[in-house]
C-alpha cells in the first residue's frame, strides 16, 4: 500500500524534488518507511535521485514501468482500469487466458519481456526486453462474424498510439502488422473463447506487442532485417509507461467507436487510411497457392482485395501478404 502511494507521488511530481518528510506526512507513515520504500524501488531499477536536505526526485528519463506509472497517465473508464504489470512472462495472452479470464472486461496484463510470445498461425513472436507487451480482456456483445474487427481495431490503436507519442507515421500491413519503413514495430494476436452450447463469444484476449526501446541486434539473425523499434526512428523515444497508457486510452476510444452505430465502417476507414502497399505489388500466400498481385485495399468486412497479373480480382479472407523489396 505504501509502495503504491509513494509511486503515485513520485509520478505526479516526476522531475521535481519532494522531501521525505513531506511524503511521510502526506501518506501518514514514518520517514523510515518512506526511505525503505524508496530503497526498494531503486532496487527494482527506478532512477530516483536524492539530495541531502532536498528530498527525492524521479528522473524524467526513468523508463521503468509499473501499475502506478500507467494509472497516472491512463484516462480510460474500462480498458486498463484494473491491470497488472509483470517484468517477465511466457506470454501475456497465455497468462491472461489461464489466470485472469474471469476478471471484468478491460482487465489488462502488461510485461516488458516475453519468453514464449505468440504470433499468428502458431508462430512465435520474439519479445526481448525493451518492448511493451499488452493483453486486454474483452467480453464483447457482438456476433462471432465480427470478431475480426477487434484485430483491425487493435492495429489502428497501435498506429494511433505511436502517432500520438512520436512524430512517426506507421502503416498497417494486412492483416495486423504495424510497419515503419517496412520494419515491423508491432505484432497483434487476437484469441477468443467460444461458448460450446450457444456458439457465442465468451471472452476475447487482444494481444499487442510494441517494440519501443528494443535492441534489434540482439534478435535472431533472420529477424534483424524485418523487425524494427521506435528507438530506431526516434532520437528520444517515449517512455514505455507513456506508450502503455496511451495504448489503453486509444484502444478504449476505438472500442467505443466500434460498438457505436456505423462503428465498423468508421474503424475500417481508420484502418484503410493506414494500409500500406496500396496499388503496389505484393506476394500473396494462401493455404493453396502463392502468387504476385497488386494490393487494392479492404472491403466492408476487412478482407483484402488484390488484383492478379491477369487482371482478375481476389478477395482474401485468410492468408498473408509479403512486401516485395
Q: What is the pLDDT of residues 77-96, one digit of tens each?
A: 999 999 999 999 999 999 99
- Is residue 228 over pLDDT 90? yes
Residue 136's pLDDT is what?
Answer: 98
Host domain of residue 312: 281-323
The model's pLDDT over 17-67, given as tens digits with 9 standing for 90+, comes to 999 999 999 999 999 999 999 999 999 889 999 877 778 999 988 998 999
Same domain, 191 and 314: no
- Is residue 124 over pLDDT 80? no
Same domain, 107 and 151: yes
CATH of the domain at 222: 3.30.930.10
Same domain, 298 and 259: no
Same domain, 119 and 143: yes
Of 29, 58, 87, the domain-final residue: 58
Of 30, 58, 86, the domain-final residue: 58
Same domain, 245 and 285: no
Q: Which of 25, 31, 23, 20 is nearest to 55 (CA)?
A: 20
Same domain, 143 and 197: yes
CA distance 273 to 13: 38
User: Domain total for the chain?
Assistant: 3
Average pLDDT, the chain: 92
Question: What's the grid cell of residue 187?
Answer: 505484432
Residue 28's pLDDT is what?
Answer: 93
Same domain, 24 and 45: yes
Same domain, 245 and 293: no
Same domain, 147 and 218: yes
The model's pLDDT over 148-181, given as tens digits with 9 standing for 90+, comes to 999 999 999 999 999 999 999 999 999 999 999 9
Three-state secondary-structure class, residue 128: coil
Task: Supply the DSSP symbol for 196.
Answer: T
CA distance 166 to 230: 9
Same domain, 110 and 249: yes
Same domain, 238 and 286: no
**Cell 535472431 identifies what position?**
220
- Is residue 267 over pLDDT 90? yes
Same domain, 106 and 235: yes
CB distance 70 to 245 below 8 Å: yes
Lowest mean pLDDT among 48-52, 179-183, 291-295, 306-310: 48-52
119 pLDDT band, cuts 50/70/90, is: low
What is the per-residue DSSP string for 208-275? EEEESS--GGGS-GGGTTTB--HHHH-SSPPPHHHHHHHHHHHHHHHHHHHTSTTHHHHHHHHHHHTB
CB neighbour list of residue 92: distance below 8 Å, 6 or more residues apart: 86, 109, 110, 111, 114, 133, 134, 135, 207
- Is residue 232 over pLDDT 90? yes
Amino acid at each position: 500500500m505504501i509502495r503504491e502511494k509513494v509511486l503515485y507521488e513520485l509520478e505526479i511530481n516526476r522531475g521535481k524534488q519532494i522531501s521525505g518528510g513531506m511524503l511521510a506526512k502526506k501518506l501518514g507513515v514514518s520517514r523510515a518507511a518512506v526511505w525503505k520504500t524508496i530503497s526498494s524501488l531503486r532496487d527494482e531499477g527506478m532512477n530516483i535521485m536524492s539530495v541531502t536536505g532536498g528530498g527525492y526526485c524521479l528522473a524524467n528519463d526513468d523508463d521503468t514501468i509499473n501499475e502506478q506509472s500507467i494509472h497516472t497517465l491512463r484516462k480510460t473508464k474500462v480498458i486498463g482500469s484494473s491491470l497488472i504489470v509483470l517484468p517477465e512472462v511466457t506470454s501475456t495472452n497465455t497468462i491472461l487466458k489461464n489466470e485472469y479470464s474471469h476478471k471484468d472486461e478491460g482487465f489488462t496484463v502488461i510485461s516488458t519481456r516475453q519468453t514464449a510470445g505468440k504470433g499468428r498461425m502458431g508462430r512465435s513472436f520474439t519479445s526481448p526486453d525493451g518492448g511493451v507487451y499488452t493483453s486486454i480482456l474483452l467480453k464483447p456483445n457482438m456476433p462471432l462474424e465480427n470478431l475480426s474487427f477487434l484485430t483491425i481495431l487493435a492495429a489502428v490503436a497501435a498506429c494511433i498510439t505511436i502517432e500520438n507519442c512520436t512524430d512517426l507515421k506507421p502503416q498497417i500491413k494486412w492483416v495486423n502488422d504495424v510497419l515503419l519503413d517496412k520494419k515491423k514495430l508491432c505484432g497483434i494476436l487476437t484469441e477468443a473463447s467460444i461458448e460450446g452450447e450457444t456458439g457465442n463469444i465468451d471472452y476475447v484476449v487482444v494481444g499487442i506487442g510494441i517494440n519501443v526501446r528494443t535492441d534489434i541486434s540482439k534478435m535472431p539473425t533472420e529477424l534483424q532485417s524485418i523487425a524494427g523499434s521506435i528507438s530506431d526512428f526516434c532520437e528520444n523515444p517515449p517512455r514505455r509507461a507513456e506508450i502503455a497508457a496511451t495504448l489503453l486510452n486509444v484502444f478504449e476510444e476505438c472500442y467505443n467507436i466500434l460498438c457505436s452505430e456505423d462503428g465498423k465502417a468508421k474503424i475500417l476507414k481508420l484502418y484503410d487510411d493506414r494500409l500500406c502497399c496500396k496499388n503496389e505489388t505484393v506476394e500473396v500466400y494462401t493455404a493453396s497457392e502463392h502468387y504476385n498481385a497488386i494490393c487494392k485495399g479492404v472491403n466492408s468486412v476487412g478482407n483484402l482485395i488484390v488484383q492478379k497479373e491477369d487482371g482478375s480480382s481476389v478477395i482474401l479472407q485468410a492468408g498473408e501478404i509479403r512486401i516485395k523489396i
